Chains A and B, each alone.
Chain A
């Protein structure tokens, strides 16, 4: 996973509340069991007037000239609600999005972002609005977002920050604690034998 440090990008607005993962990547756009080949389906219901023929809707923000090459999306509250499909994050990342700023995120989506090097930043709605079409600079080490002369700090869980900043693979990180895990399991098996099964069927 690529480490995240600073991101500079125009703030491209998608300021609706409750944008769901079906809209970010519809089920019908998830055509393989892999994690790639998804960017074309990103926001398909909004991006295309005819999704099957890939006819772009010029009115949709990501199709506008100023949004080309953007690395940052600005969104409404509860962004990424709905299905747990990680394909939503894979599609955003493949499209080139490296950070999303919104008043709040749905919890599974937020977790999926961290696991894939995509920075989810929570800031109040008024700040998100102030960033629309501004050249925004995000600095993960100092946890700040700035535009023009203004700057705001954002909170992030230290574990998530470390994983993003160092591009760490969570599984590798956890496997370092395998002795502690195995010791816990051995003790727990005596406490809660009913939670275990001997073989798969």
Chain B
């Protein structure tokens, strides 16, 4: 599910060679993480070789898109203008259900196209279960997160 976020002007990811597949899969609405094709261990952020077995062969493994909030912040201005417009918004770090050591920064929102400050701050809680959604901003698709339905 990819929708257009109303708030543009946010910084866009600038993928490097290692990270490009992550964003290409995100554009298709898939959350995938780099894994070693030799020993199978997941790694993040993506990089050219495996820190465990030094293999240069990698693959991109689909994730369930479920996770838990490891930590969160609420930035207040002064901020870049596009972010100040939505401040105080939240930034969360999500530990993936399949790989708790992999933590993705993102935003907790009420729906994929909702603004970054759409969730009541009282609902931000370490350990809360979240589910990935995808939003298009400035022509690029980024993962966002919603609270998992109980």
A and B part of one assembly: no
